[in-house]
A and B are shown apart, each in its own frame.
Chain A
Amino acid sequence: MKVRIHVSLKPGVLDPQGRAVHHALEGLGFSGVEDVRVGRLIEMEMAEGTSDEALDEMCRKLLANMVIENYRIEKLPRTEGAI
């Protein structure tokens, strides 16, 4: 089972990295960029039958810092997504 964990900063937490990327895009002449938030994507190959609870616990204990970050778990069908 392929699993993608999307980790993003919580709304309201200032994202210095996102702001720098935003400025850089504007500096390159791209218009219409209203906000940029930089997150992290973690791809994992998991044994079939891994429970949602186990994935949640991995996120809460290590993969995301719940003080500043949210996470979203995406399970991919076998045929999709190359890891």
Chain B
Amino acid sequence: MAFRAAFVTFPGSNCDRDMAVALEAISGTAPIRVWHGDADLPERLDFIALPGGFSYGDYLRSGAMAAHSPIMRAVKDAALRGVPVLGVCNGFQVLTEAGLLPGALMRNVGQTFICRTVPLVVENAQSLFTAGYRQGQEIRIPVAHHDGNYFADDATLDRLEGEGRVAFRYRETCNGSRRDIAGILNEAGNVLGMMPHPERAIEDDHGGTDGRALFESAVGGLVNA
């Protein structure tokens, strides 16, 4: 059966096309574009992606306005029903602002926009997004953000670590994130937020393919389910 994915375009999203291209390249089926103002998602979705960008111009806080846009109510409902949701970069910021993931993404500690390919360590290779990696595998994925400095209080960080919910960690300090966290899962494991851009790492021509396994995991996991 075809892989039914949707991606949300907010005003100011700029990685939505990259996300769509990646999803189609890996799954063989073009994903459905959903607009921020839509109240409903298409039915029977296998996957929802919140792309990177600068939704609503990063007004107030990155992701704060998008988190309250009409479509997010439907995304929350879908996430609670267990539909896999991937938020990349601004998508991660939206997921934290919407309360689907704990913590917050603050201004990078060095104050600068960071745009480069960074080494990550796969900390949990058992989630539906990461099953295609090896535990502890080092991968290289691009980051491009100003507000990627992950913050949560110690109790939350301890819980995330204890429950295996840190999916990816920067191998070296990147943006000041507490415990070098680059990506986290929700409690049920069906929502992943990450600052690095796996959708920008699926073609050799673009500097690497380490992002493919993430989409392959999501697509393959559902095919096998």
| Contact A16:B108 (CB < 8 A) given known A63-B60, A67-B152, A68-B151 | yes
Cα separation A16 to B107 with both chains bound (whole Å)? 7
Closest chain-B Cβ to A17's Cβ sits at a distance in Å of 6
Kindly identify, within residues 37 to 61 of chain B, every residue whose CB is under 8 Å from any CB belonging to chain A: 60-61
Compute the total of residue contacts between A and B using a CB distance below 8 Å.
35
Within 8 A of A (CB), among B48-101: 60-61, 64, 68, 96-97
Contacts of A68 in B (CB 8 A): 104, 106, 151
Q: How far is the CB of B190 from chain A (nearest CB, A)?
A: 21
In the complex, what distance in Å separates the CA atom of A65 from the CA atom of B107? 14
CB distance from B148 to the nearest CB of A (A): 12
- Tell whether, in the assembled complex, residue B104 and residue A17 are in contact, meaning their CB atoms are under 8 Å apart: no
Considering the chains assembled together, what is the distance between the CA atoms of A68 and B152 in angstroms?
Answer: 8
Cβ contact within 8 Å between A17 and B107 = yes
Q: For chain B residues 171-194, which have a beta carbon within 8 Å of chain A?
A: 176
- Most-contacted residue by chain B among A14, A63, A65 (CB, 10 A): A65
Residue B207 at the chain A interface, CB threshold 8 Å: no
Measured CA separation A63–B61 after assembly (Å): 9
Asked if A13 is at the interface (CB within 8 A of a chain B CB), the reply is yes
Tell whether A65 pairs with B68 under 8 Å between CB atoms, given A17-B111, A20-B111. Answer: no
Q: A65-B97, A67-B151, A68-B104 are in contact. Are A16 and B109 (CB under 8 A)?
A: yes
Given the complex of chains A and B, what is the CA–CA distance between A62 and B149 in angstroms?
Answer: 20
Interface size, chain B (Cβ < 8 Å): 19
Let me know if B111 and A16 touch, CB within 8 A: yes
Residue of B nearest to A20 (CB): B111
Closest partner residue, chain A, to B106 (CB atom): A68
CA distance A65 to B96 in the complex (A): 10
Closest residue to A66 on the B side, CB-wise?
Answer: B104
Q: Does B28 contact A (CB under 8 A)?
A: no
Are B61 and A67 in contact (CB-based, < 8 A)? no
Chain B residues, Cβ within 8 Å of A20? 111
B residues adjacent to A (C-beta < 8 A): 60-61, 64, 68, 96-97, 102-104, 106-111, 149, 151-152, 176
Residues of A in contact with B (beta carbons under 8 Å apart)? 13-14, 16-17, 20, 61-63, 65, 67-68
